[in-house]
Amino acid sequence: MKNKVFALVTASVLTLGAAMPSMAADGPLGSVASFFGSVTAGVFDAPQGVLVNSLWRMPYKTQRILAEKFGDEKGLGQNLAAFVIGVPTGFVWGMPYGAITGARHGFVTGWEKPFSTESYLVTEEK
């Protein structure tokens, strides 16, 4: 009996989940779809933001800014020193920053455009 109830609940959730994008804009479940779109986008975008910001954006930005502050942004010595200091610092700082910005992007975009491709990709640069 428990397996039948579990199967029925699972089938209902899958059916509602498949139909949710069509009701997202103007359908009777518009705010519910926006809520679920926001939550699912936030769940996907938070780890994605951590990866993007800790592995690429923050180390690159930190290294570039430090090389500029050291005097010559194109100089070899300045770039080596900025690389040694900036990449680990950017990696560590990129984790919480990426989690916060990724989750914010997911929740905001997921609410405005539920279940759209844009809500599941952290591509914006601020």
- Condensed to tens digits (0 to 9), the pLDDT of residues 1-59 reads 667 777 777 776 666 665 555 555 555 556 777 788 888 888 888 999 999 999 989 99
What pLDDT sits at residue 67? 93
Q: pTM here?
A: 0.67
* C-alpha span between 38 and 40 (Å, rounded): 6
Q: Which of 105, 110, 124 is nearest to 21 (CA)?
A: 110
Task: Look at residue 117 and tell me if it is in a domain.
Answer: no
Alpha helices, DSSP H, located in 1-126: 2-19, 30-52, 58-69, 76-112
Contact between 22 and 92 (Cβ < 8 Å): no
Give me the domain span that covers residue 53: 33-112
What pLDDT sits at residue 22? 53
Structural domains of the chain, count: 1
Q: For 61-104, write each residue's pLDDT tens digit.
A: 999 999 999 988 888 889 999 999 999 999 999 999 999 998 99
Task: Look at residue 39 and tell me if it is in a domain.
Answer: yes
* C-alpha span between 123 and 102 (Å, rounded): 10
